[in-house]
């Protein structure tokens, strides 16, 4: 693997699970505009091997651990590290104008801001920060990412970004600067609403443990999640939430279901991607 030159503005990490075609096109745009890209591909993903940039193939360790793996991979082959890491889902569609706007924002953002969200939607957090930015398309300062320990591998899917932003908010500010030209296709990583409801509840309970979130905030999140699913007639999602709530009491059971439904790596496997 060739060593990457120093002086880059940002490293772009695209976690590829299901939308390899879209991730390939995005990587080509980033590369054309002078940004180094690492595609962190889980076991079920396919990408064009001719794409410019580094392709890291790993088991299905989840979104956060896949980012950690890509950043460590880059650190090991680069002469120097950039100030920023741009992190993207594989279902984010970008244009050259959007990438130019990302670069412009990162050049002028105040030093007090440690992370910038570019997806227009905000995420509700049961933690101390209340509302937060979304992890589908954002940038984080390299130093602060390592200072906070990167993503926590206990989160296989969902709440990994909420947990990261909770920790980042204690060392600096979070900013939301939507870029209208990006398109978030969404729902590419889970597909089935029942399974999504199950997994998001498992992760919400882990988040409460990790961040000592209050029971009141957790119950409020649970109520809003089930209520919104019912209002949108997604009964399967609501059932998945309830199943996840009870399955969380039995680690062997929910780990087995995550393996069966998502081909998820075990926690012991994910721990290998913890940042040191």
pLDDT in tens, 24-43: 889 889 988 888 889 898 87
Domains and CATH numbers, the chain: 10-184 (3.90.550.10), 193-271 (no CATH)
39 within 8 A of 14, measured Cβ to Cβ: yes
Q: Give the pLDDT of residue 179.
A: 92
Task: Write down the residue that tokens 């940002």 correspond to.
Answer: 10
Res 1 pLDDT > 50: no
- pLDDT tier at 46 (50, 70, 90 boundaries)? low
pLDDT in tens, 4-27: 444 468 999 999 987 788 888 898
Minimum mean pLDDT range among 103-117, 153-167, 189-203: 189-203
Report the alpha-carbon distance of residue 158 to residue 149 in Å, rounded.
18
Instruction: Find all residues with CB under 8 Å of 157, minimum gap 6, and list them.
Output: 62, 63, 189, 190, 199, 200, 203, 262, 264
Q: Give the pLDDT of residue 127.
A: 61
Compare 184 and 123 and report the one with higher pLDDT: 184
Q: Give the pLDDT of residue 263.
A: 85
Minimum mean pLDDT range among 123-132, 167-176, 243-252: 123-132
Minimum mean pLDDT range among 92-101, 112-121, 178-187, 224-233: 224-233
User: How buried is 7 (Cβ within 10 angstroms: 0-12 exposed, 13-18 middle, 19+ buried)?
Assistant: exposed
pLDDT in tens, 164-198: 999 999 999 999 999 988 888 765 444 458 888 89
Compare 75 and 79 and report the one with higher pLDDT: 75
Res 224 pLDDT > 90: no
Q: Can you give the pTM of this predicted structure?
A: 0.88
Res 86 pLDDT > 50: yes
Q: Give the pLDDT of residue 171.
A: 93
What is the residue-averaged pLDDT of the chain?
85
Tokens standing for residue 17: 């699970």
Res 163 pLDDT > 60: yes
Q: Give the pLDDT of residue 180.
A: 86
- pLDDT tier at 251 (50, 70, 90 boundaries)? confident
């Amino acid at each position: 693997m060739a060593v990457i030159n120093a002086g880059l503005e940002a490293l772009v990490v695209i976690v590829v699970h299901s939308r390899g075609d879209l991730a390939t096109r995005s990587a080509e745009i980033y590369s054309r505009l002078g940004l180094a890209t690492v595609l962190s591909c889980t076991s079920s993903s396919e990408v064009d091997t001719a794409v410019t940039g580094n392709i890291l193939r790993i088991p299905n360790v989840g979104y956060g651990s896949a980012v950690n793996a890509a950043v460590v991979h880059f650190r090991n082959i680069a002469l120097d590290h950039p100030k920023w890491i741009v992190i993207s889902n594989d279902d984010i569609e970008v244009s050259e104008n959007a990438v130019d706007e990302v670069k412009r924002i990162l050049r002028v953002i105040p030093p007090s801001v440690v992370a910038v969200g570019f997806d227009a939607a905000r995420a509700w957090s049961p933690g101390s920060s209340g509302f937060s930015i979304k992890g589908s398309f954002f940038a984080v300062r390299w130093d602060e990412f390592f200072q906070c320990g990167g993503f926590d591998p206990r989160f296989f899917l969902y709440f990994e970004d909420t947990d990261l932003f909770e920790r980042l908010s204690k060392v600096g500010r979070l900013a939301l600067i939507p870029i209208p030209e990006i398109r978030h296709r969404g729902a590419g990583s889970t597909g089935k609403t029942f399974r999504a409801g199950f997994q998001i509840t498992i992760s919400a309970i882990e988040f409460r443990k990790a961040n000592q979130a209050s029971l009141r905030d957790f119950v409020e999140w649970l109520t809003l999640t089930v209520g919104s699913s019912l209002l949108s007639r997604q009964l399967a999602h609501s059932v998945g939430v309830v199943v996840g709530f009870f399955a969380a009491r039995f680690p062997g059971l929910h780990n087995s279901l995550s393996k069966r439904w998502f081909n998820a790596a075990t926690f012991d496997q994910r721990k290998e991607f913890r940042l040191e």
